[in-house]
């Protein structure tokens, strides 16, 4: 039985490539094209697998794009459980502009999902014995904003640990109506919950408030180039990012969350898991497009992170 079960209600196939320059009207010729299975939970499952963990990805998929997604996941050796929908799976596109180093990300909303399909996903997670359940990514149209909240409460009731990585109303609803083991917002996502602008210092305070009111045991806030913050009952830890040559920020947050889950499953301390997450996020930034992190990079960077 896999130790980590991930749920992706709004998966995607991420097509990534490079272009010399991105300009309006003109055709933009791209090179180094990649096709990767994507969506928050799927990315987490990919990284858990890369790091030697045992994961299963539950996802909703449909249409011809959904069939390609099935094949890509099979090629990567990811254990899956698919819930078929009538709508078309999303197809996103990411372009790295070589002349500036900027990255452009085009992400469609995704097809509406009927209540029956959402119930199938909920029931499958409910029947699963995985200790760690990851709800990650956006909610497709038609999904109640408290879906993750109900799922988190159900997982906690059976003694599991629910890890949350989402945004907007779904993030607020979950932290208001349920308790999660780990929440991993970005700075911008935490601002949505707090209802105010935050800097690194006030972000730590806002994360600590979430822990203090019992909405989460751990809150890990990713700050991009400014590092990350971990709030727990023990206090607040802030660490800088590891300097690396950044090629793409895509999937860095998913890599961070997956690495933290792996470390916690191995019995490492909260701070060790936090450092492992920072290492994985930096490792993901080193790879092009949607490749995510590489195992050896993560362990090498973790050794550097221990000295921070």
Which helix (DSSP H) or strand (DSSP E) does residue 104 occupy? strand 103-106
Give the integer Cα–Cα distance in Å for 171 and 164: 8
Q: Is 14 a catalytic residue?
A: no
What are 226's two structure tokens? 């400014």
* Sheet hosting strand 161-165, strand order edge to edge: 79-84, 55-61, 4-8, 132-136, 161-165, 180-183, 216-222, 228-232, 235-239
CA distance 100 to 90: 28
Residue with tokens 């992706």: 8
77 token code pair:
């050796």
Query: What pairs with residue 228 in β-bridges?
Result: 222, 239
Q: 225 to each of 239, 240, 242, how far by Cα in Å?
A: 11, 8, 9
**Residues 6 or more apart from 223 whose CB is under 8 A from it?**
186, 187, 200, 203, 229, 241
Of the candidates 285, 290, 300, the residue with the CA atom closest to the CA atom of residue 247:
285
The residue from 14, 36, 146, 254 that is catalytic is 254
Residue 29 half-sphere exposure toward CB, CA atoms < 13 A? 0
Residues noted as catalytic:
254
């Amino acid at each position: 039985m896999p130790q980590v079960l991930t749920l992706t209600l709004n998966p995607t196939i991420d097509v990534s490539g490079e272009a010399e320059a991105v300009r309006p009207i003109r055709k933009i010729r791209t090179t180094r094209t990649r096709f990767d299975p994507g969506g928050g939970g799927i990315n987490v499952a990919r990284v858990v697998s890369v790091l030697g963990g045992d994961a299963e990805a539950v996802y909703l998929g449909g249409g011809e794009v959904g069939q390609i997604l099935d094949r890509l996941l099979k090629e990567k050796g990811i254990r899956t459980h698919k819930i078929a929908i009538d709508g078309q799976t999303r197809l996103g596109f990411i372009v790295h502009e070589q002349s500036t180093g900027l990255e452009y990300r085009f992400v469609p909303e995704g097809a509406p999902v009927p209540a029956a399909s959402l119930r199938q996903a909920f029931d499958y997670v409910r029947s699963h014995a995985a200790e760690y359940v990851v709800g990650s990514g956006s909610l497709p149209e038609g999904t109640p904003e408290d879906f993750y909240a109900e799922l988190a409460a159900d997982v906690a009731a059976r003694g599991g640990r629910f890890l949350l990585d989402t945004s907007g109303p779904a993030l607020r609803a979950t932290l208001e109506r349920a308790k999660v083991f780990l929440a991993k917002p970005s700075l911008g996502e935490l601002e949505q919950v707090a209802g105010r602008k935050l800097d690194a210092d006030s972000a730590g305070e806002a994360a600590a408030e979430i822990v203090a009111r019992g909405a989460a045991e751990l809150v890990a806030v990713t700050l991009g180039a400014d590092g990350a913050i971990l709030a727990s009952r023990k206090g607040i830890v802030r660490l800088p990012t590891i300097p690396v040559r950044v090629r793409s920020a895509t999937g860095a947050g998913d890599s961070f969350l997956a690495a933290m889950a792996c470390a916690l499953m191995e019995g490492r301390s909260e701070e060790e898991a936090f450092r492992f997450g920072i290492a994985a996020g930096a490792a993901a930034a080193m790879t092009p497009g949607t490749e995510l992190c590489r195992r050896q990079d993560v362990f090498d960077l973790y050794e550097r992170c221990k000295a921070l």
